[in-house]
A and B are shown apart, each in its own frame.
Chain A
Amino acid sequence: MRTLINGNYAVSYAMMQINPDVCASYPITPQTQIIETFSKYVSDGKVTTENILAESEHSAMSACIGASAAGARVFTATASQGLAYMIEVLYIAAGLRLPMIMVVGNRGIGAPLLLHCDYSDSFLARDSGWIQIYCKDVQEVYDTTLMAVKITEKTKIPVMVMMDGFYTTHGEQVIDTLTSAQAKSFVGEKPSWANMLDSRITFGNVALTDSNLEVRERQFKDLRESNKSILGVQKEFNKKFGRKYGLYDAFGVKDADMVFVAMGSTYQVIELACKELRKKRKKVGCLRPRVYRPFPFEKLGRELKGKKIVVMDRAISHGAEFGPMGLEFQNMSSEFYNVVYGIGGREFGLEEARDLISKFLTGKQKKFQFYGLRADLEN
């Protein structure tokens, strides 16, 4: 059904359609609308979900762990400071191999306090062991939220679904939603997994020097191989509903001389700018990493080999040579550039995309730069 909806409402709607067992959440800008609308569904009896309104994000994620360990289908949402607060428990959720999904409305972490989009929050959890998928628009968020439930229950790895704070969380777009019957049937009956109510299990025990390495190795291996399951679920989604998703998106990369790598909603303007330049026969391409963890380094390496790549980072890794994405892409090509942009929600629209690409097409650029700094501020 064609619907005008923003990212937050789309997530909440998707969850309403599949009626999970438990939701444990805490409000934080820009995800508050998710839990507000979901709470309204609960109040109106549209779902039978047990809604835990936790007293902090740390407790919200802890309750998610408890719920999943008790065999319940559970979801939550957070951003920014909240994600940073629950980081300890994110590691625990991944280490315990519990299925759950979390939607993140990307918002930078302070100080100084900020409300708008950058990826410093979800990048903080890169090493935690969660599957991370970045979405570029509301349609993708809606679809990925449903797919994430299936992925997490298949792989027993928790899944984080990212959307840009304000751009996608609050920006309304026309999307195609499934019927509740379709959504429920796609996500399927909850499979049974080892849980505390059906079996007698000790979770979260100590694993000392004699066993910790093996547990971690298995976790690492399973996360790396989870892209097979991710592709499988996405293939099934495409077959049923005609929308195709991969581990990344690419436009004009095959014969491109220069490829711009950008994630999230920024990709939309980069792709538009590249399409314009293609019409003028400029050999530019663009690539959007979608599944960021597990990082599809083999496939990306093959795509980008021999090309000049400009990696656009919406986050900073203070003290490192490049931005966080830059560090992961730097060896994929001999000619590599890194641009940090859009920090704290600094506008990066079509004008900026055209400007940046033309700068790279026409002149020699520094290997690493901040784009979009204000000329009128004395820093």
Chain B
Amino acid sequence: MAGKCDLQKIWEKGKDCFGPGHRTCSGCFIPTIVRTVLGCVPDGYEPVVSIATGCLEVTSTIWPHTSFGGSCIHNAFENSASTMAGIERAYVARKKRGEIKKKFKFVVFAGDGGTVDIGLQALSGMLERGHDILYVLYDNGCYSNTGVQRSGSTPYLANTTTSPVGLESNGKAQKRKDIMSIVAAHNIPYAAQANPAYLDDFIYKINKAFSYEGPKFLSVFMPCNYGWKFPQSKTYDVAKVATETNFWPLYEIEGGKYKINYKLKKALPVEEYLKASGGQYAHLFKPKPNFKPIAEIQKEINEYFKTLEKKARMC
């Protein structure tokens, strides 16, 4: 159902800021995420974007085409946050000297590789210094652009090309890095976990982020049909079931206070998500002695949500 926000306006502004002609995989939600965020840039502001090497960058800015209608910079894989820090300070400096009359919103887009692994240092420095930047992480749980290698954000037991299922392995042996907790430890004004399939909530979070001054962080779920191996038309369905099973809970951390935005009376069993999200978890459904992965994952999901609830109650 169309939400309370002006979707027409968001779509039009989003299309101006990030037009078609990019070479993202058919059925990829990255353009949706980028377009929605940029479409919510408040009136009177222009977006300036910094992107990390990854799916977004290599598909949308190939000479002589750029999908970005506004200014955009790609520097390297790990420094999208520090590059934007330089731009933001340059804006402040030039504005002080009367060189700039326009107003800007500074947005960084990076994948989980460029945020949670190689980009962690630059992100941490940017958050600590308190730049007025919105950092949007599109999390597809792998280095999708280079061929679905595992990242620190790859969930437990996912099948990736560098943590492949094999005779001696059941996929990624480590648990996923909790980037939201890492970001929360920097005491920034606003951080939130969002899902493009919950558009009203997503837009609410983007607007809230833009209303704050200082560093903001959005961790957005990004189902990758190429990497996870599900049919390209099902991207929305996979995103929906991720939150319906509490695999990807929707919550915000505002001034250090936790708030869960979407509480289900009864969450679907995580098995539904693992089935829907495609080939990356197909091996969990093959019977194997002494291997009860789905129950283990369900336990972990439940515990994580309980921790969130506890944190929310304390506020």
Contact = CB atoms under 8 A, between A and B. Distances in A.
Interface of A: 21-22, 24, 48-50, 52-56, 58-60, 62-72, 74, 88-89, 92, 196-208, 210-211
Interface centre among B86, B125, B128 (most CB of A within 10 A): B86
Nearest to A51: B89
A22 B89 contact: yes
Interface string B82-124: 1111111111111011011010100000000000000001101
A66 B82 contact: yes
A143 B103 CA distance: 37
Contacts of A69: 73, 83, 86-87
Contacts of B78: 58
Given A52-B129, A211-B63, A202 B79 contact: no
The main secondary structure of chain A at its interface with chain B is mixed
Given A69-B87, A200-B70, 20 more contacts: A22-B89, A22-B93, A24-B86, A48-B96, A55-B125, A56-B125, A58-B78, A58-B79, A58-B121, A60-B82, A62-B83, A62-B85, A62-B122, A66-B50, A70-B90, A196-B71, A201-B71, A204-B73, A204-B75, A206-B57
Nearest to A215: B63
B73 to A, nearest CB: 4
Given A21-B90, A202-B68, A89 B76 contact: yes
B94 A197 contact: yes
Contacts of A200: 68-71
A54 B87 CA distance: 13
A50 B75 contact: no
A66 B71 contact: no
Contacts of A22: 86, 89-90, 93
A101 to B, nearest CB: 15
Nearest to A64: B86
A197 B83 CA distance: 14
A208 B121 CA distance: 29
A58 to B, nearest CB: 6
29 contacts: A21-B90, A21-B93, A21-B97, A22-B89, A24-B89, A48-B93, A50-B90, A55-B121, A58-B78, A59-B121, A59-B122, A62-B79, A62-B83, A66-B82, A66-B85, A67-B86, A67-B89, A68-B86, A69-B87, A71-B90, A72-B94, A89-B76, A196-B73, A197-B104, A201-B72, A202-B73, A204-B61, A206-B61, A211-B64
A196 B87 contact: yes
B72 A67 contact: no
Contacts of A196: 48, 71-73, 87
